[in-house]
Amino acid sequence: MAGTSTGTSTGTGSAAGTAAHPRSARSGGAPAREDVAAALTAARDHLLGLRSPEGWWKGELQTNVTMDAEDLLLREFLGVRTAADTAGAARWIRSQQRDDGTWANFHDGPPDLSTTVEAYTALRLAGDPPDAPHMRAAAAYAREAGGVEATRVFTRVWLALFGQWPWDDLPVMPPELVLLPSWFPLNVYDWACWARQTIVPLTIVSAYRPVRPLPFDLAELRTGRPPLARTRDGWDVAFGLLDRALHRYARRPVRGLREAALRRAADWVVARQEADGSWGGIQPPWVYSLIALHLRGYGLDHPVIRRGLDGLERFTVREGGVRRLEACQSPVWDTALAVTALLDAGLPAGHPAVAGAAGWLLDEEIRGPGDWAVRRPGLPAGGWAFEFDNDDYPDTDDTAEVLLALLRAGLPEAAPAIERGLRWMAGMACRDGGFAAFDADNTRTLCAKLPFCDFGAVIDPPTADVTAHVVEALAAAGQARSRVARRAVLWLLRAQEADGSWFGRWGANHVYGTGAVLPALVAAGVRRDAACVRRAVAWLDAHQNDDGGWGEDMRSYRDPAWIGRGASTASQTAWAVIGLLAADGHTPAVERGVQWLVERQRPDGTWDEPHYTGTGFPGDFYINYHLYRLVFPVSALGRYLSPPVSPLASPLVSPPVSPPGEAGP
């Protein structure tokens, strides 16, 4: 069972524009070794200072204001909204509005209509008058961009809850979906774990169609035009016809079947509430689950509802009179990365911070079953999740990073957990040899064609960044020659883009993917002079900014013109440096990248990074991991000064393992 440690958020956020370190006076050429060492020491010490008393690290996960707007709307729907919460959230939402009246989904990003409509609605709820200048500007943009009619389905679901959009004009999400067996198309396990946890409670909401009117109307956000139609390929037409049939069924459902489905859906939701009161440790299923169960008769004093509302407090950041919510928290991920960074920085494995963090990570191992077992029923449990409490959803990405940290930390008592983690992680390989984050073979694209799936990734296919982390962990455990690792390497070679880069699913974007794959391939034994490596190195060299850093704007997920382009950031520069060091050593590009990090370090040892470099849903939802700006530069500078040796078999693990039912290496 994963632990339930609590504590205050230990973010590393800092105001942009703070004076850089005095070493910034030096520029051009290779950085002085003593300057790099001094920068590394300052960053390492800053990182050590962020460690919690329990041994973990956790940086804030900053997203967009839909988290805060939807939190107020949730509380309004449940009747628990307070003046204090409303005022603090409204201050934060106002502070994120841009000069043109809009809100974006990431720093310096384009305006987003749905985010702007939700933020505007929350501010109306907070009492901001529609004729106030900032509200007039937001409404004018909304109308120009198509009004509420052009917002995404999930925004219109929120509006429907308050009578601001007709339920009849929304796609139907029938609760009978939960009755479909796991082998049947469009069953709930065809969705990614984050999507299924959202869809199941929404089927309950869709069945009840509740309306709790607001004390105002949003007529100023409407254009009167019909909603935008989706592209009209064959599947869209077919599912459009199905949706019309489901609307007719929703008006007169088979009563016994409908009640059985609602009961099954509610039981499914309740069974997946985590120890901290969340669902999946993420915001969307959390809020919809609370609404759905409330509609099923769970009162505000019911333990499930009470735990859910109380749990939101740990995701709430209060500072300077504002109140904002994190969409998720990442203590396991952050702690594993911090341990690796500190070891890269030269701390010995026996250092109290390293040993304490490794011990905490051991306590977070997940030994019980979860939704992953639907596709891998014979696989023994063993792995790690992202959050403090997310026992239903360990993932291969976190497991790989934890294994890398534990293997280097060298705790003898870690050996059994490492063995279990390696076996579980290897057993989650997809049929094509690649690795997804949460599920195996979750690749049925039919889900994305449903009319209500117009936002975010809804399936969990294998990705280059996750597969690379798994390969690197297997190599560190001496299993680079195992069948699982060899198939994963072949998957990576097939996934390389024509330009030599790799797509990054969970980080922005090709810089992240390429920076992750290069160390993995080298660790797995791919020659540094191999064509795939040289093409990737050439891509990173070609996309280095004139200032010596690297950056890639989030728009690269939708617009190829942005691939490899963007303002230089500390985390992305570090990713590129780490990849190039593994593949190419101390080249001029690496020297310039390290110099960029040295020159732009803050006096307190960290770096400013207002730009978002983490990805929730490619093209739709992004994250500024406040710890990324520190842990990755520490690793990059540490590896620059002391390149890691080639991976050898760890003394903590047995010979290579294979998943149940597979041949050995």
Give the HSE-up count for residue 449: Cα atoms under 13 Å, Cβ half-sphere.
Answer: 16
Residues contacting 312, CB < 8 A, separation 6+: 71, 277, 286, 325
* Contacts with 182 (C-beta within 8 Å, 6 or more apart), sequence order: 189, 374
Active-site choice (35, 395, 397, 460): 397
- Of 491, 489, 478, the residue nearest 520 (C-alpha): 489
Contacts of 628 (CB under 8 A, 6+ apart): 59, 570, 571, 609, 613, 614
Residue 206's closest CA among 73, 308, 297, 295?
Answer: 295
| Active-site residue flag, 397 | yes
| Other beta carbons less than 10 A from residue 626's beta carbon | 24
Amino acid sitting at position 250: A
CB atoms within 10 A of CB 219: 11
- Cβ contacts of 12 within 8 Å, gap of 6 or more: 46, 50, 59, 60, 606, 626, 627, 629, 630
Tokens found for residue 79: 């009747």
Query: d(Cα 322, Cα 13) in Å, to the nearest integer?
Result: 15
Nearest to 487 by CA among 534, 402, 428: 428
Closest CA to 62 of 559, 611, 592: 611
Q: Which of the residues are catalytic?
A: 397
